[in-house]
Structure 1
């Protein structure tokens, strides 16, 4: 009795193993090839170019900030190999078994005919029909089907092709620059070209601060890897003496003054050596008088007569 039970269990195990192994109809492996590029950061630097000279004699300065990186670039050829199989679906046996019987008969007939025709028939008629038929007759296996095939990743192969160094230099575009002036710190933004337009007569510098500005400390930092750069600009004593007067000439109320006082403001800024500020104030006054052609004409004539400056409305020209 014990021996009989053991034989039954062994037979059931063998049948189960055959069933499990026969369910999936294995298909040829499939391979995918691609190239993968790996970039390894070797060096990261930030550079602040404050221009020349290092001592400010004018209130405006263009400061350029660059970000430089070097990489080790390695290219790999990657091959992925997949095991493919046709998953077993029992209901398909309803039509695969009869079709398999037909295919086996047809395959046998094709092989007999192939002998008579001295092997001139293709393998699809002799071997493939019989293979299809046997798979169809097997109740534990579906025939091969590329249309519903599934796959599993078998293994990955990587082969290094080459390795090279790459360098990049990009502007610190629209990124913050910390400017420290005495006890005060300001966060200013660069433009798309990585240029910070520093103007001591503009925000965020106030009238109370500009006369005491002696040293500007500029710093940038990348929070991703704590890369930092610093630079400094000295403000000359001569410029510090001009800033307070220039601030009043530019920002005191213009509408309460007459044409002679407008001309005096422009001429005084020019005499201080602040030609860019003089031109900006000149254009602001032209814009202010746009809706009063007579007042604008009087200002332009007085500007030419008393300050020797020839100006015109840029919109008209």
Structure 2
């Protein structure tokens, strides 16, 4: 009695487990294809071009900075294969069993008809109807359903298509540059083209006495790849001797001076060989006298007579 009840309980449990788990109805495997590119950094350098001449003879200098990288580029063709299946749901057997029986009968009829049609009926009628019918009457399997299909990654296949070396050269665009002048160090920024516009008569150098500074040390660094480049830009002795006087000519108060002193400033900057600074000061004084046409005319006349400079009268274009 005990043995019989034990066997009955075991059989019930086994049937329950089969009904609960069921069998997944496997569908056709699906594949996805894509291309993958790997870039391995081989070399990374920063190049600082201080231009010509190698020593600083004028207060201004445009310094170009480029970042060069060399990569090993490998291209792969990747195929991902997925196993697809219809998950088992026991409650669907309530309607799949009768539908399965109908599908088997219809499939057998279609195969008989296909004999007379010389095999012209598609497999979706002659074969799939029978397969779905068998799955339908199987209490442990559902009929295939693409709408309920799930998938698992089965394998990944990679095939190398190409391997090559690529180099890039990009401007050090809007990035920091450290400039050391004697004991002072300043952080400047390049423009979008990777050009550092250096002027010893502008801030922050204008506030420093550079008469005893022999050279500027220019440094750029990429912390991410721990790449650094340093270069020295000597300052010529003649330029160092001009900076203090040029600074006073440019930045000392203009409004307390008369026209002759303005002309003297422009003329003296030109004599020092600082023609760009002379032209900028000249333009600033013309703008300063914009609201006083008589004073402006007197200034322009003195520039031509006493400094030998050819300046267009801004009033003539109005």
TM normalised by structure 2 equals: 0.91
User: Which residue is 1:72 aligned to?
Assistant: 72
Matches within 5 A, 1:98-247: 98-247=98-247
The alignment partner of 1:28 has SS state of coil
Whole-Å separation in 2 of the counterparts to 1:93 and 1:2: 33
After TM superposition, the structure 1 = structure 2 runs for residues 284-295 of structure 1, keeping only pairs within 5 Å, are: 284-295=284-295
Q: Is the 8 A contact 1:286 1:313 kept in 2?
A: no
> Deviations 1:2-40 (Å, cap 9, x if unpaired)?
587468637844773586351x21111111111111110
Is 2:268 the partner of 1:268? yes
Distance (whole Å) between structure 2 residues aligned to residue 31 and residue 238 of structure 1: 75
Q: 1:93 to 1:15 in 2, by over 3 A?
A: closer
Question: C-alpha separation between the residues in 2 aligned to 1:290 and 1:90?
Answer: 94
- Change in Cα spacing, 1:141 to 1:311, as seen in structure 2 (3 Å) is farther
Asked if 1:255 corresponds to 2:294, the answer is no
Contact 2:19–2:139 under 8 Å retained in 1: no
2-structure distance, mates of 1:149, 1:306: 94
In 2, Cα distance between equivalents of 1:314 and 1:144? 88
Give the secondary structure class of the aligned counterpart of 1:52. coil
Distance 1:126 1:190, change over 3 A: same
- Secondary structure at the counterpart of residue 29 of structure 2: strand
Q: Per-residue deviation at 1:85? A: 1.1
SS of equivalent residue, structure 1 residue 105? helix
Counterpart in the other structure of 1:16: 17
Paired residues of 2:77 and 2:158 also in contact (CA < 8 A): yes
Query: Matched residue pairs, number?
Result: 316
Q: Which residue of 2 aligns with 1:25?
A: 25
C-alpha distance after superposition, 1:151-197 (max 9, x if no partner): 11111111111211111111111111111111110001111111111
Does residue 306 (structure 1) correspond to residue 300 (structure 2)? The answer is: no
Residue 146 to residue 237, structure 1, CA distance change in 2 (3 Å): same
Deviation at 1:113, TM superposition (A): 2.3
Corresponding residue SS for 2:188: strand
Instruction: Assess if the C-alpha contact under 8 Å between 2:173 and 2:194 holds in 1.
Output: yes
Does the CA contact (< 8 Å) of 2:82 and 2:154 recur in 1?
yes
Aligned to 2:59: 59
Q: Secondary structure at the match of 1:240?
A: helix
2:47–2:229 CA contact under 8 A, matched in 1 = yes
> What is the Cα-based RMSD across aligned positions, in Å?
2.3
8 A Cα contact 2:65 2:171, kept in partner = yes
State the secondary structure of the residue aligned to 1:71: strand
Partner SS state of residue 276, structure 1 = helix
Equivalents in 2 of 1:78, 1:314: separation in Å?
Answer: 69
1:118: how far off?
3.9
Shift in alpha-carbon separation, 1:216–1:41, aligned structure 2, 3 A = same
Q: Following the alignment from structure 1 to structure 2, what is the Cα–Cα distance between the partners of residues 45 and 313?
A: 51
In 1: Cα distance, 2:285 partner to 2:94 partner: 94
Give 5+ residue unaligned stretches, structure 1.
none
**TM norm structure 1:** 0.91
Alpha-carbon distance, 1:251 to partner: 0.6
* Separation of aligned partners in 1, 2:251 and 2:61: 20
Greater shift in the superposed pair: 54-63 or 268-277: 54-63
